[in-house]
Structure 1
């Protein structure tokens, strides 16, 4: 029993030593050859956040491994998963986030296959002969025995100017007794008016994704390239963070947390509306 305890104690001390040599308090990295500092793939971001791989990234950890979800290992990893060069995240907010994530009572992890995160992809298309930018929101959904990325929404400026629904006294309308005329006054909506959306219900919102796919099927919209990718996470209770890819010299590179927000009641819905461009 005493021998087993000694082995565990030595192992724990070894982890702390490696982490102490690898991480500074400021979040920068001292690379002694045992740590691959750049988080090169998003899958690796998940594994490091959860402590599911070795320090040098060469070994995947599973529940039966002694270092799987190890708290000191996770703390070291999460510290270097932040953009420590250009981000405006304060040290106090970062420490509060890490403390909650590493709680011994209720530790929290991120999961690739769980809801609560989406991809934001900046793309370029040619629309009716003109180069235009489109923002696509993608999410994972189950598909047969696995998963697939699907387009959940699109933000496309050329469509926004098409719909301009008036409100208040400037809004045209169909008289409540229109039915007595057999709705013959629909001519006002479909022929005389340049704003037929004025005659829709108050909650009407155009489905830009359907329009986007329609224009593509009509060969008016043609894909050119992807210009940027970022990810939005809501999987940690009470928090939102954004992950971007940083390609730059030094250690603090790869997929890193660029923005962190502690959410109050109602904030999540507001952030989602902003991401989905729902003003």
Structure 2
């Protein structure tokens, strides 16, 4: 919890308002909104981040083309793939990220079919007759000669009260000599106690996805609709960024980077993932 709180403070403290920066001059992209506004699909975000598509989206660049993965073009494109109206990312952090992904000696690209990115789908289900919010975390995985989206994790507040495991002196336990009784005291522990999770190991974590699928198969949970989608990326070295869709007046719309943070080690990455998955 302390590690998570510290990381949350680090991320929040790095947030400041970023204003749009115009890019002019011969052969340069002018940030008049036409480029950012046309990023209507996530696949376009990938292509533009990598400089695999023209500004107007009409021409695809392939390996061997003059502008394919062109460094100067990427610098201009990535600049325009940020939410400049509501995302609070410092100019220095943004520039450091751009410099990193477009480094001349070791540029970093996004790959749709590679791991270390996933979708967060905010959805609505009816659970035992009541409408409720459920978050699905989905990943791309290979299937045969192609790929498919699969559900990796589920976050649902309705399951949490059933796994509120007590700690310390308040936690019920099975006596270390229970084996001498043939573990007959399991009857009292599991049938006369309303917290059977107390008798699980310290590293036990409830599998909400299995519960979710069980409730669907039992007819207790039914899908209604999707309220929103965002994407989380860990593909770029020691960085994390979030991509969200913005439908609003003006030019700075479409799929844009809405959050950005440096991730210096696996411990910080795990803390961010736990925060995203709502496993506090």
1:19 aligns with: 28
Return the alpha-carbon distance in structure 2 between the equivalents of residues 36 and 50 of structure 1.
15
* Runs ≥4 residues deviating over 6 A: none
2:118–2:138: 8 Å Cα contact kept in structure 1?
Answer: yes
> What do the CA deviations read for 1:76-117 (whole angstroms, capped 9, x no partner)?
111110001111001111111101111001100010000110
Q: Secondary structure at the match of 2:106?
A: coil
2:36–2:81: 8 Å Cα contact kept in structure 1?
Answer: no
Return the alpha-carbon distance in structure 1 between the equivalents of residues 36 and 253 of structure 2.
11
2:112 aligns with: 112
**Once the 2 structures are TM-superposed, how far is the Cα of residue 18 of structure 1 from its aligned partner?**
3.2
2:242–2:260: 8 Å Cα contact kept in structure 1?
Answer: yes
* Structure 1 pair 234–16 and aligned structure 2 pair: CA distance change class (3 A): farther
* Structure 1 pair 30–209 and aligned structure 2 pair: CA distance change class (3 A): closer
Q: How many residue pairs end up in the alignment?
A: 256
Structure 2 unaligned spans of 5+: 1-23
Mapping for residues 118-267 of structure 1, pairs under 5 Å: 118-265=118-265, 266-267=267-268
2:10 aligns with: none
Task: Please provide the CA RMSD for this pair.
Answer: 1.4
* Structure 1 pair 157–36 and aligned structure 2 pair: CA distance change class (3 A): closer
**Once the 2 structures are TM-superposed, how far is the Cα of residue 30 of structure 1 from its aligned partner?**
5.8
Return the alpha-carbon distance in structure 2 between the equivalents of residues 17 and 44 of structure 1.
24
Structure 1 unaligned spans of 5+: 1-14, 24-28
2:165–2:198: 8 Å Cα contact kept in structure 1?
Answer: yes
Mapping for residues 52-71 of structure 1, pairs under 5 Å: 52-71=52-71
2:120–2:138: 8 Å Cα contact kept in structure 1?
Answer: yes
1:4 aligns with: none
Q: Provide the TM-score with structure 1 as the length reference.
A: 0.89
* Structure 1 pair 30–251 and aligned structure 2 pair: CA distance change class (3 A): closer
1:38–1:252: 8 Å Cα contact kept in structure 2?
Answer: no
1:5 aligns with: none
Return the alpha-carbon distance in structure 1 between the equivalents of residues 33 and 44 of structure 2.
20
Q: Provide the TM-score with structure 2 as the length reference.
A: 0.88
